[in-house]
C-alpha cells in the first residue's frame, strides 16, 4: 500500500504484540494517573487540615499566655523533622499573595481561632520553595525536602508567629510502574502465544495452497487454532480431498478404458489375419498399432508408475542419449553438455517423461534446446523451444489427460494429449515437479525438477 507507515511491522505476531502492549501501557498509565491524582488530592487535603488545626491550636494557646512564655511554649511544640513555630520580628511577615485555596484555608483558620485571637490577616501559603523561606524559620532537618507549607498568624497588634511545615517530595509511583511493566510483559506474551496459534496454521495453509498452485498434491493441513482459522483449514482439506478423489476416479476411468480396449484390439488382430486384401490389411494393421500404442499410454498414465525399480544413474548421460536419438532421427534437438549428474531414479520413466517434453518442443515449438541446471536439492532438466508457448491460464490444464490446445488440434501434430499427464505423474513419482513458463523472447520453457535422492517408492 502506498504511503503506508514503513516502520509498521507486517507480520501478525508483531502487530498483535505492538497493539496489545500499547493498549496496556495507555490503560495502565491512565488508571495510575487518575488514581494518583485522586489519592494525592486526598492526602493533601488531610495534611492541610492537620497543619491548619495544629497552627490554630498553637496560635490560640500563645495568644492566651503572657508574651514572655511564648518562646518556651513554641520550642516545646516544634518538631525538628516536620514543623517549626517561630515568633516573627516586626516587618518579617509575608507579603506574597495567597492562592485561592490558600485564602480559603486562611479564612477557615481565622474562623477556628478564639475571637480574642482574631486580630489580623492570617496567611496560608501552600507550596513554598525552601530557598524562598528565611533559614531561621525552617525546621532543623530539612535536607530531604524541597517544599513547605507556610502559615503566618498574628497574635496581637504587633506580633505574629510563623509555622513552616515540611512537605515530603512527591515520589514516583514505583509500584504502579512495576505493575504496568508486568502487565505489558504478560499481555505481550499472551498476544505472542495467541498470534502463534493463528499464524502457524495460516502458514501451513499458505504452504499447502502454494503446493497446489504449483500443481502438486496438497498435504493434509492440521485443523488447529481458533475456530475461524480452523474452519479455513477444514474447508481447505475438504477441497483437496475432493480434488484428490476426482483425480483418483479419473485414473480409474483411464485404467478401465485401457484394459477394456486391450481385449477387442487382440481380437481384431486375430481377425485381421482373415482379411485377404493386403493393402486393406496393412492399413488396418497400422491403425491397430496406433490404437495399441494409445492404449498402452492410457494405461501408463493411469498407473503413473511402471513398477520399475530405482537405480543410480547419471542424468546428464541419460538426457544426452535421448537427445542424440532424436537428433539421429533428424529432429532439431540440441543438448548442452553438463558434468555427471548422479540421481537415484527409474531411468525408463525419466526417459519417457523427458522424451515427451522434447517431442512437444519439436512438435509445437519448432526445436528443442535441452540442458541440465543445478538446483539446491537436485537438478532441473530444462527444455526450451521457439513456438507460441502456452497461455498462463492453460498451464495447469494441459497436464490433464487428453487435453490438447486448439492450436495443436491438427493432424500434423496428432498426439493424444497424454504426454504431459504422464510426464507430470513420473516427475511427482520421483518427488519432483514440472513447471511450464513462457520465455521472454518467445517459446515455452519446460522445467522438470528431480531431487538428487528421489523419494522412496
Ligand atoms: N512446447 C509446447 N509449446 C506449445 N504448446 C505445447 C507445448 N507442449 C505442449 N503443448 C500443448 O499442450 C498440449 C498437451 O501436451 P501433451 O504432450 O500432454 O499432449 P500432446 O503432445 O498433444 O499428445 P501426446 O500424448 O502425443 O504427447 C499439446 O497438445 C499442446 O497444445
Ligand atoms: Mg506431447
For 271-299, how does the pLDDT look when each residue is reduced to its tens digit (9 = 90+)?
Answer: 888 888 989 999 899 888 888 877 887 78
Which ligand has the shortest distance to the CA of 403?
Answer: 1
Spatial CA neighbour of 156 closest among 107, 124, 118: 118
At 254 the pLDDT is 81
CA of residue 255 to ligand 1 center, whole Å:
21
Under CATH, to which class is 307-451 assigned?
alpha beta
Residue 138 C-alpha from the chain's centroid: 62
Confidence at residue 86, expressed as pLDDT on a 0 to 100 scale: 92
Measured in residues, the chain has a length of: 457
Pairing verdict, β 444-451 and 433-438: antiparallel
Write down the pLDDT at residue 455: 45
Please report which confidence band the pLDDT of residue 306 belongs to, taking 50, 70 and 90 as the band edges.
Answer: low
CB burial string 140-164: b at 16+ within 10 A, e below: eebeebeebbbbbbbbeeebbbbbb
C-alpha cell recorded at residue 35: 488514581
Closest-lying ligand 1 atom to the alpha carbon of residue 405: 31
pLDDT one-digit tens code per residue, 59-94: 989 888 888 888 899 999 898 888 999 988 877 777
Rg (CA), the chain: 48
Give the cell for residue 205: 495453509
Ligand located closest to 408 CA: 1
Grid cell, residue 256, equals 478401465
- How far is ligand 2, taken at its centre, from the CA of residue 342, in Å? 27
pLDDT band at 9 (very low <50, low <70, confident <90, very high): low
Cα 186 from chain centre:
20
Ligand 1 pocket test target in 258, 362, 411, 417 with most atoms within 8 Å of CB: 417
Residue reference for cell 541440465: 372
Give the mean pLDDT of 254-258. Answer: 83
User: How does DSSP assign 50-106, residue by residue?
Assistant: HHHHHHHHHHHHHHHS-HHHHHHHHHHH-BTTTEEEEEEPTT-S--SPPPHHHHHHH
DSSP 8-state code for residue 149? E
Question: What is the per-residue burial (b if ≥16 Cβ within 10 Å, else e) of 99-138?
Answer: eeebeebbeebbebbeeebbbeebbbbbebebeebeeebb
Cα separation of 240 and 220, whole Å? 8
Q: Examine the pLDDT at 412 and tell me if it is beyond 60.
A: no
Q: Is 112 in the pocket of ligand 1 (CB under 6 A)?
A: no
Q: What gap in Å lies between CA 127 and CA 147, rounded to an integer?
A: 6
If one residue of 361, 398, 438, 444 were mutated to test the ligand 1 pocket, choosing by the most ligand atoms within 8 A of its CB, it would be 398
pLDDT, average across residues 176-189: 84
In 3D space, the residue among 196, 246, 200 whose CA is nearest the CA of residue 223 turns out to be: 200
The pLDDT of residue 215 is above 70: no
Confidence of residue 445 (pLDDT cuts 50, 70, 90): very high
Q: In the predicted model, is pLDDT for residue 2 greater than 60?
A: no
Residue 305 near residue 279 (C-beta atoms within 8 A): no
Tell me the pTM. 0.49
Name the grid cell of 364: 509445437
Identify the residue whose cell numbers are 502492549: 21
Taking the centre of ligand 2 as the mean of its atom positions, its distance from the CA of residue 414, in whole angstroms, is 9
Tell me how far CA of residue 66 lies from CA of 62, 70, 127, 352, in angstroms: 8, 7, 32, 127
Strands 311-314 and 342-345: antiparallel
Eight-state DSSP code of residue 214: T
Residue 444's φ and ψ, nearest 5 degrees, are -105, 145
Q: Is ligand 1 within 6 A of the CB of residue 419?
A: yes
The verdict on the CB of residue 383 being under 6 Å from ligand 1 is no
Element (H, E) at 128: strand 123-129
Report which DSSP code applies to 373: E
CA distances from 402 to 64, 277, 297, 352, 409 (A): 121, 34, 11, 17, 11
Does any ligand 1 atom lie closer than 6 A to the CB of residue 416? yes
Question: How do the domains of the chain map onto residue ranges?
Answer: 13-167, 227-286, 307-451
pLDDT over 60 at 24, yes or no: yes
What is the predicted pLDDT for the residue at 119? 83
Residue-averaged pLDDT of the chain: 85
Residue 361, ligand 1, Cβ within 6 A? yes
- Residues 6 or more apart in contact with residue 244 via CB below 8 angstroms: 217, 218
Q: Check pocket membership of 415 for ligand 1, CB cut-off 6 A.
A: yes
User: Which one, of 236, 235, 231, lies nearest residue 218 by Cα?
Assistant: 236
Could you tell me the sign of the dihedral formed by the alpha carbons of 35, 40, 45, 46, in that order?
Answer: positive
Of all protein residues, whose CA lies closest to atom 13 belonging to ligand 1? 404
Amino acid at each position: 500500500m502506498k504511503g503506508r507507515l514503513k516502520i509498521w511491522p507486517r507480520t501478525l505476531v508483531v502487530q498483535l504484540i505492538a497493539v496489545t502492549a500499547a493498549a496496556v501501557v495507555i490503560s495502565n498509565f491512565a488508571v495510575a494517573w487518575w488514581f494518583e491524582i485522586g489519592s494525592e488530592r486526598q492526602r493533601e487535603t488531610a495534611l492541610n487540615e492537620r497543619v491548619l488545626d495544629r497552627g490554630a491550636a498553637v496560635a490560640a494557646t500563645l495568644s492566651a499566655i503572657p508574651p514572655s512564655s511564648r518562646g518556651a511554649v513554641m520550642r516545646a511544640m516544634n518538631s525538628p523533622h516536620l514543623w517549626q513555630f517561630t515568633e516573627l520580628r516586626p516587618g518579617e511577615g509575608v507579603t506574597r499573595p495567597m492562592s485561592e485555596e490558600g485564602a480559603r484555608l486562611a479564612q477557615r483558620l481565622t474562623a477556628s481561632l478564639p475571637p480574642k485571637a482574631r486580630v489580623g490577616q492570617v496567611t496560608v501559603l501552600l507550596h513554598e520553595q525552601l530557598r524562598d523561606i528565611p533559614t531561621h524559620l525552617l525546621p532543623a532537618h530539612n535536607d530531604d525536602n524541597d517544599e513547605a507549607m507556610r502559615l503566618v498568624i498574628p497574635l496581637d497588634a504587633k506580633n505574629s508567629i510563623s509555622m513552616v511545615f515540611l512537605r515530603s517530595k512527591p515520589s514516583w509511583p514505583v509500584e504502579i510502574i512495576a505493575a504496568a511493566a508486568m502487565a505489558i510483559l504478560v499481555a505481550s506474551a499472551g498476544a505472542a502465544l495467541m498470534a502463534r496459534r493463528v499464524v502457524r496454521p495460516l502458514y501451513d495453509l499458505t504452504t499447502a495452497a502454494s503446493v497446489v498452485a504449483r500443481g502438486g498434491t496438497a498435504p493434509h493441513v492440521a485443523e488447529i487454532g481458533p475456530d475461524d482459522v480452523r474452519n479455513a483449514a477444514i474447508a481447505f482439506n475438504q477441497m483437496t480431498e475432493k480434488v484428490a478423489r476426482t483425480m483418483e476416479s479419473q485414473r480409474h476411468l483411464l485404467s478401465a478404458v485401457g484394459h477394456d480396449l486391450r481385449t477387442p484390439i487382440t481380437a481384431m488382430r486375430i481377425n485381421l489375419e482373415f482379411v485377404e486384401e493386403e493393402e486393406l490389411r496393412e492399413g488396418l494393421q497400422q491403425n491397430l498399432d496406433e490404437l495399441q500404442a494409445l492404449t498402452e499410454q492410457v494405461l501408463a498414465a493411469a498407473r503413473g508408475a511402471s513398477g520399475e525399480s530405482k537405480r543410480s544413474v547419471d542424468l546428464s548421460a541419460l538426457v544426452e542419449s535421448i537427445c542424440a536419438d532424436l537428433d539421429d532421427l533428424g529432429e532439431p534437438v540440441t543438448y548442452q553438455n553438463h558434468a555427471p549428474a548422479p540421481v537415484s531414479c527409474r531411468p525408463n520413466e525419466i526417459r519417457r517423461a523427458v522424451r515427451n517434453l522434447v517431442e512437444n518442443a519439436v512438435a509445437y515449438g519448432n526445436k528443442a534446446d535441452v540442458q541440465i541446471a543445478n538446483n539446491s536439492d537436485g537438478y532441473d532438466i530444462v527444455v526450451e523451444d521457439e513456438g507460441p508457448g502456452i497461455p498462463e491460464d492453460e498451464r495447469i490444464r494441459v497436464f490433464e489427460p487428453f487435453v490438447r490446445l486448439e492450436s495443436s488440434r491438427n493432424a500434423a501434430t496428432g498426439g493424444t494429449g497424454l504426454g504431459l499427464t504422464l510426464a507430470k505423474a513420473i516427475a511427482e513419482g520421483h518427488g519432483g515437479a514440472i513447471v511450464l513458463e513462457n520465455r521472454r523472447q518467445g517459446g515455452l520453457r519446460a522445467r522438470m525438477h528431480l531431487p538428487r535422492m528421489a523419494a522412496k517408492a
